[in-house]
Amino acid sequence: MGITGLMKTAGAPACTGHLVQVAASLLFLAVILLPSCVVGFQLWGLEELQSPVPRRALLQHHNHDQVIRTEMIHRDHPASPLRSTSSVKTLKERFVDALKRGNNRIQSIAHHIAIGGTKSFQSQVSSGDGEYLMPISLGTPAQKSTVIVDTGSDLMWTQCLPCDSCYPQNDPLFNPAASSTYKLATCTSALCQALPSTACTNAGDCEYGYGYGDGSVTEGLFASDTLSFAGSAGNLPNFGFGCGVANEGNFGAADGIVGLGQGPVSLVSQMRNSNMDAIFSYCLVGIDSTRTSPLLLGNANAAGVAYTPIVSNPVNPTFYYAGVTGVSVNGVPVDYPANSFNILANGNGGLIIDSGTTITYLVQAAYTPILQAIENTVNYPKVDGSAIGLDMCFSTKGVANPVYPTVTFHFAGGANFILAPENNFLLLDPTADTTCLAMAGIDGFSILGNVQQQDHMMVFDVAAKRIGFKSVACDTV
């Protein structure tokens, strides 16, 4: 099936027998249901998941709450299908690759905002810039898939049979004919109407098309099926997703994408259909760790979490924005223009909390004084970081216990996001003792990246329109 380029205008969908072009976002997750205890499960074929460490530190479950748990891995994890098999890369090389993906993601977001955001059928992100993956199961009986997790997109999709144009993947393609619970969505269904670009078959079934910022596309039939977690431990019936039969572009070896954005077709939004709270949480381990990062769907009632309101950006409504009221270095407030983090009428500005970007990017007006404040507290010989793509690198050769400053982001509502030195300073070249600040300056908008989020329980409470966080050792959650 070819890419046809049909688009739905802002009204009823056009009824044609063709598919729409566009590339979308993604798809599902395989996870473990946990009512009041954590179930050990070999998600990734890793020994550590067969005998997991106790995961009770933060979670206080009520019997009436349904909480589903799965484990995510970084794309460079040994078990990741996106990890390079041609050569073993150093941390520095992998970090440089991550910065390139981050730059692609930023360019895609900027383009999406520039063309009017919600008026576009194109996703805000590039298809190949996913940083975390998770296993899911679809259908009855369950069929396993491995998908990219993305807080910056909504649509959930996976490659399906019969496929007209599919890229290679490690798992078998999802076979709708083998599932007794698979059902096509109609063009008049609420979820089909919520998609940015659709068409109708002659039988009235919903065809979708979704495009990404790098030109990658997925198109196929929008359908529903049972999304299950670790076999029969728990499931979400009648879950709407894209069954992609014409997928072209840079998706690596992932089977699809699961969108955790705020849009109506995202995973977190559809959880309401199963009487679950529209809340998800994750806790990211270090990017060089061989451990997994827990993802919790539902209200885990994490204790001691500080919350700040989600800030609305009508031009870019999928992403999670938070209101920054100040930044301090070692407890000293940094002086930068007061409007640096305001969201503008054209959609620019604001700070996005994003799982798919590695480092933190700040608008230049705020970044320059913040960088200067950090440099004033670090008295080690400077090293040229231009080959890496960072502004501040230095050598700690011969220093037994280097000392770095603490950086705190102050958010609306009084929530303080305290970044320990390991959230900001990365030893990228151990042989030369080269350490770099994991921040950079950009124009347009700011992003709090996943390095800064590591070892924090991040709570996205879409139901109450708030984001929460708490410092915690994520390999103990």
Report whether 243 contacts 256 (CB < 8 A): no
Which residues partner with 390 through β-bridges? none
d(CA 254, CA 48): 23
Catalytic residue list contains 171? no
Long-range contacts of 74-80 (CB under 8 A, 24+ apart): 74/131, 74/132, 74/287, 74/289, 74/293, 75/130, 75/131, 75/132, 75/133, 75/252, 76/287, 77/44, 77/290, 77/292, 78/290, 79/44, 79/45, 79/46, 80/133
User: What are the DSSP calls for 59-95, one per residue?
Assistant: ----TT---EEEEEEETTSTT-TTS-SSS---HHHHH
Q: Answer whether the bond into residue 162 is a cis peptide, omega within 30°.
A: yes
Residues whose CB is less than 8 angstroms from the CB of residue 344 and which lie 6 or more positions away in sequence, other chains included: none
Catalytic residue list contains 354? yes
From 129, 150, 429, 475, the catalytic residue? 150
From 129, 171, 225, 354, the catalytic residue? 354
Q: How far is CA 277 from the centre of its chain?
A: 19
Report whether 271 contacts 160 (CB < 8 A): no
Catalytic residues: 150, 354
